Homo-oligomer: A and B are copies of this chain.
Amino acid sequence: MPSITREDLAARDAADPLKSFRGRFDIPEGLIYLDGNSLGPLLNSVRDRVADVVSREWGQDLITSWNKNKWMELAGRIGGKIAPMIGAGGHEVLAADSTSINIFKLLSAALKMRPGRRVILSEAGNFPTDLYIAEGLVSLLGGDYSLRLMDKAENLADYLDDDVAVVMITQVDYRTGRKLDMAAVTKQVQDAGALMLWDLAHSAGAFPVDLNGAKADFAVGCGYKYLNGGPGAPAFLFVADRHQATIQPALSGWLGHANPFAFTSDYKPATGIARHTVGTPPVLSMSALDEALSLFAEVPMEGLLKKSQQLTGLFIDLVEQECGGHGLELASPREAAARGSQVSFRSQNGYAIMQALIARKVIGDFRDPDIMRFGFAPLYISYADVWDAVAILRDVLETGAWDVDAFKQRAAVT
């Protein structure tokens, strides 16, 4: 491979069809923000929208806003905006609660839909909250319900049997960035008689997902990572059309009722996806997410995928070109199709190196025991950013700055 230069990358940025989106974000000057897989940055339009929701909608219009400013429709409207990004119908997606709570809703429903089967199957390395929620559910149900953990999703066949009611996997592994073939896994699960629940926390907004193409049963996802909905933004859930009429919510709250304002004492679920609403949604946080999603209506999803793969591939190539000999080990798949929009490297000094990078305004994060994560959100990361990040990484490694920093920190503490 011939050496890549910064000039090459500046030229690539100039020709990038997504380049105009960066100016829509309010990213601090000089920051190379490679942590949008943890918390997406602020869009200027979102700042304005939240101010308007607070001052006018809440402050002036008060309770009339539930109708006048369509607060009642927020959950479904957000769902409708997410739907085309994940290969779903607008009536199949709803914004609600947190990812954790949405997992509880769908796992509890899935167990009811496969009576006689008592096992939730997931991956040992799944994001912890997915596993914790499953643990809590099987503990609540008691009896012989259980959570079964695969060593890794690639060995799914070894773990599937007639006891498995539902399989829950995060498509993109939060540590390594490994991305699974949704259609193939879903088929394997359904062929074994189980239901498939996808966690799209690190997928939605990073590249196009095709839930209905894969015939997925259920999905959940996160509003505050690649969707840029703000800290702790409400999450979303997907229920395939074919399940909507029969699924019975265990978290049956008043806003999921067929007629909430009749105030009847008997629960009757709303038609369709709306029944998965529980309590009154946090309107300020919902409005921020709603506004952030408006951007995606302008984004060509295939272009997003292409740039995601190019940015992550470039980062791998450049680290190997510029930072050889420092013991970094690629933790992410080298094959673009098998990788989400992040790249992880392992290093025994990972924590200190990441601290040194952050001090130099290259923001990634660290996950125990040795993973440095770098997220590449195609809407605001440029090819030149990748060069600059790697140049700073190389400098940190070559000058031993990470070790100096770590020493200073130790000195400051003691």
Contacts and interface: CB of A to CB of B under 8 A. Distances in A.
A281 B58 CA distance: 21
Q: Which of A127, A133, A367 has the most chain B CB atoms inside 10 A of its CB?
A: A133
Contact of A124 (B46, B137, B141, B265): B265
A234 B286 CA distance: 12
A252 B33 CA distance: 31
Interface string A241-268: 0000000111111111100111111110
Given A101-B101, A262-B368, A283 B252 contact: no
Contacts of A400: none
B367 A230 contact: no
Contacts of A140: 108, 112, 140-141, 250
A344 interface: no
A134 to B, nearest CB: 9
A47 B131 CA distance: 38
A262 B368 CA distance: 7
Interface stretch (A59-67, A187-195, A211-219, A298-306): A59-67
Contacts of A283: 230-232, 285
Given A46-B54, A131-B265, A284-B230, A26 B251 contact: no
B280 A98 contact: yes
B254 A132 contact: yes
A261 B174 CA distance: 13
B50 A133 contact: no
Contact of A252 (B58, B62, B65, B133): B133
Question: For this complex, into which size category does the number of interface residues on chain A fall?
Answer: 35 or more
A51 interface: yes
Q: Which of A104, A126, A284 has the most chain B CB atoms inside 10 A of its CB?
A: A284
B265 A136 contact: no
Interface in A166-206: none
Interface in A14-50: 26, 28, 31, 33, 35, 38-39, 41-42, 46-47, 50
Contact of A284 (B50, B104, B127, B257): B50
A55 to B, nearest CB: 6
Contact of A232 (B59, B99, B280): B280
A97 B279 contact: yes
Given A28-B59, A133-B251, A233-B282, 12 more contacts: A28-B62, A54-B288, A71-B232, A97-B98, A98-B279, A99-B279, A101-B101, A133-B252, A133-B253, A136-B249, A283-B285, A284-B288
